[in-house]
A and B are shown apart, each in its own frame.
Chain A
Amino acid sequence: MLGRRLCVVKIGGSLLRDSKSYIESAQKIREVFVENGYKAIIVVSAAKGVTDKLVQVAKGSQEALRHIVEKYLEVAKELNSVKVIKRVNEELKRLEIVAGAINRSGVDLSLYDFLLSFGERISKILLVGALEATGVNALELHADELIVTNETFSDASIDYISTSANLEKLYSSIVDSPTIPVIEGFIGSTIDGRITTLGRGGSDYTATAIASLLNIDRVYLVTDVDGIMTADPDIVENAKLVRTMSYRESLEASLHGAKRINPKAFEPLEKFYSSKLIIGSWSKFGTEIVKEIPRELWGPKVIMNRASQDMSYMAIVGEGTSSVQFIRNVLEIIDRNGIEILGLQSYVHRPSLLVYVSSTYELKTLHLLHKELFEGV
């Protein structure tokens, strides 16, 4: 039913910093996808830092509100389109009204989510404006009309059946037109039309839901790094890109706090169509995440130092890391180097091994294990 050259592209907030970056992103979308014959469905995040500011606005910060207004107006002016400037002004006025109401009504979760949704809503208008300025036909889709969710405000889950019906209807009416549709990530609405948000990192979830419900093969998650790294490169300088991971591995890494992907993003991929996730930056798409990986790719993929209730631990994630052989291997490394550990945790059905160490050994253990497990030949 669907063309082969269709893909979903999520533009992360880290790429949308200032007025220039909207134009840059639009040009890249054009170069990388449009000019290569791809029909991309774009999922856009809020500009960098805006969602945090909106959370402050909800707490009554006028300064945060001013910051958002200035930031988005600056981008709108840079695009130099009467239409975009007017639209952004309209949305900012509405934002101000909502901000005014939220401070009076105490905690109203639906109003809170509505307030948060402005980050993505305005960002979408700007990206569509930028695409048109670069000569690409773009069309605004509206997440609050398409993505139906339950009523768990601020951490909503997508109602796949209703959403799928909406997406198919829309898809069939625009599939023939030469246009790049752009939708807000992170937001949806309840069946009776109240806006919800999908939780932090929710744009990934929007992207995977759209792809899996429309049977689209590829989801590009575009950000400012080249892919998923074996360890935090700020701590471990020899950290390198992970080429391929399975959903399970990636989900496990998310559950241990890897910032990359919202755990809910895997649900539609598991339940419906298993699209491939491709993560990276405009210069390099370094990591692919697929439903299953072949046996020869089993092994540790990522190591992270985390803390839980004042206990620091290393989380080693990868298919096979909960096997006896792997655990013995890790213990040998630790033993050989005279490190005391406080505990081990591993379940055979989960692709991870947790090594608890006292905080004095934390970094030493991290470097050591990374060296031994990831930097070998």
Chain B
Amino acid sequence: MGRRVKVLLIGFGSVGRALAKVIALKRKIINSRYGILIDVVGVADSKGMALKAEGFDEYELLKLCEVPRSGVNLFKPYAHQGVDLNILYSNTQPDVHVELTPSEYTSGEPGLSNIMYAIDRGAHVVTANKAPLVLKYKEIVSRALSRGVRIKFRATVLGGTPFISTLTSMRSHDVERIEGILNATSNFILTEMHEKLVEFTDALKMAQALGIAEADPTLDIDGVDAAAKIVIISNILERPLKIEEINRESISRVSLRDIIDAVRQGYVIKSIASFDVRGGKASIRIAKIPRSELFAQINGVMNGVRIRSDATEVVFIGRGGGGIETAHSVLDDIVSLSFEDS
């Protein structure tokens, strides 16, 4: 039996469920490979929480995924009405706090307070919620440093790939430019428009039907999500930008006419996020890309980013926001935190 790592999941939407499932399926394997036994000791969503200090077993984790949206409070016999982090922490003494609440870019809540609370209670933090990092990156990181805990967020940018850890580890490089397709939903919509020759609204409907776009898709289609990712990247590179400083163009302005015109001229239309690191400028813009170029061939829910440094050029291509892929990134963060602790 390996060393126990007690984990709290705060937020239980599609990523939270995917994570519970992946942990259920892989915790034995991770235990035998690395000697780390991941125990989910508590789960919370907007309405309630479920906690079990000795850790939910595989069956219970899979069973948890059957609760309706905001239905953790129905998970008998472990359920509590309402969310109270004090109760969760006092009863379970978690090692790792996993923040999976939705991103909200005005106040950063509830993620911001949750993360600060976790740090103050001495728990390491893994977050897939971008908003707290986008709004208060410095504060969060320095607070964690002062309390001797770490924060990891591999799932926030190109969640299906180890992009963040690679970028973080390129310590001797001067990164000059980062650009690419950072939002899976808008890339899917644009791809639909090209492939099926439909208007934006129909492509959006399709994306919503397939569960790729949210009921309120504005964060994705207006470029807020991509801009948030650039902000996180800028902080990692210690050239911090504010999200308001990033000029954004919404893909809702792209018409079928634009697409047809572009295709006739040998281009495709993409939403490209770019960050000129030295100039300290970034934008999310609608761009006509020659069909032969790499970014023109990254379609559907795929993402792609190019990192250009003074020494090299690296390209990442991978699924952006799928539940299972993102869950694996979160789990990788949990495992690596546990490694560093031992």
Contacts and interface: CB of A to CB of B under 8 A. Distances in A.
A137 B322 CA distance: 30
A170 B25 contact: yes
Contacts of A104: 198, 202, 205
A105 B206 contact: yes
B68 A86 contact: yes
Nearest to B60: A177
Q: How large is the interface on B (under 10, 10 to 19, 20 to 34, 35 or more residues)?
A: 20 to 34
A105 B59 contact: no
Contacts, number: 74
Contacts of A108: 196, 206
A145 B69 CA distance: 19
Contacts of A192: 300
B250 to A, nearest CB: 21
B197 to A, nearest CB: 10
A105 B68 contact: no
A140 B59 CA distance: 10
A10 to B, nearest CB: 21
B287 interface: no
Given A90-B69, A169-B25, A100 B209 contact: yes
B58 A173 contact: yes
A81 to B, nearest CB: 9
Contact of B63 (A101, A139, A173): A139
Contact of B59 (A83, A125, A174): A174
Interface in B180-230: 196, 198, 202, 205-206, 208-211
A27 interface: no
A111 B209 contact: yes
Nearest to B63: A139
Interface string B38-65: 0000000000000000000111001101
B59 A193 contact: no
A32 interface: no
A137 B58 CA distance: 14
A97 B25 contact: no
Range class of the A interface residue count: 20 to 34
A83 B68 contact: yes
Nearest to A94: B211
Interface string A120-157: 00000100100000000101100001000000000000
A192 to B, nearest CB: 8
B206 A101 contact: yes
A82 B208 contact: no
Nearest to B196: A105
B74 interface: yes
A111 B205 CA distance: 11
The residue in B63, B65, B208 that gathers the most chain A C-beta atoms within 10 A of its C-beta is B63
Residue among A125, A145, A173 facing the most chain B CB atoms (10 A cut-off): A173
Interface in B58-107: 58-59, 62-63, 65-69, 71, 74
B200 to A, nearest CB: 12
13 contacts: A82-B74, A83-B74, A98-B209, A104-B198, A104-B202, A105-B198, A105-B202, A108-B206, A111-B209, A128-B66, A139-B59, A139-B66, A174-B62
Given A89-B68, A110-B210, 8 more contacts: A86-B71, A98-B209, A101-B205, A101-B209, A111-B206, A111-B210, A139-B62, A173-B62
Leading 5 A-B pairs by shortest Cβ distance: A101-B209, A86-B68, A177-B59, A98-B209, A101-B205
Interface of B: 21, 24-26, 28, 57-59, 62-63, 65-69, 71, 74, 196, 198, 202, 205-206, 208-211, 300, 322, 324
